[in-house]
Structure formats: C-alpha cells, structure tokens
Structure 1
C-alpha cells in the first residue's frame, strides 16, 4: 500500500486553493468597477472638452 500524506497536509492544500480562488474572485470584482469609473471620467472629460 502506498504511503499517504497526513490529513492535515491535504486540508491545508484544500484551504489554500479555496482561499486563492475566493481572493481571485473578490479582486476581479473589486478592480473592474474602478476601471470602468476611471474610463467613464476620462470619456466625460474628453466629451466636455469638445467645442461644437
């Protein structure tokens, strides 16, 4: 029978993967709205600078 890793190693690995995935999701949703707001402000300043 092959040697098995201790249970706490497996739990540590699973917890690391779960935290990494949750952190990636949170960072994705936090960064995108700020980028859209900065793009909107840039577009508004560009649109306001035109003289018709």
Structure 2
C-alpha cells in the first residue's frame, strides 16, 4: 500500500540513525587515548638543545 510508504521510510531513517549513534558511542568509549606525561615531554625538549 503506497499510503504506508512514508511510515516505512521514517522507521528506516530512525533505525539507521540509531545504529549510527550506537556505533559512534562505541567508538568513543572503547578507544583509550594515551596522553604523554610531562616527564616524557621534558625528555624530548632536552634532546633539542641546539648549539649555535
């Protein structure tokens, strides 16, 4: 029935939007970023001691 087609499109849109949001939430909470500490940054800065 063509009268039901807009409802089907709406359900599909909501379904795929929910999947998209779910995948983004998984990516956000699963990935662990490792931040470098200040000690590591100081070691890198000490290596760049230029002698002109």
Relative to the length of structure 2, the TM-score reads 0.53
Task: Note the residue ranges of structure 2 that are not aligned, 5 or more in a row.
Answer: 41-52
1:20 matches 2:16: yes
Mind listing any 5+ residue stretches in structure 1 that lack a counterpart? 48-52
Q: Which TM-score applies when normalising by structure 1? A: 0.53
Q: Report the RMSD for the aligned CA atoms in angstroms.
A: 2.5
Richer in helix (by share)? 1
Q: Which runs of 4+ in 1 moved over 2 A?
A: none
In our comparison, the structure showing a higher alpha carbon Rg is: 2
Aligned residues: 39
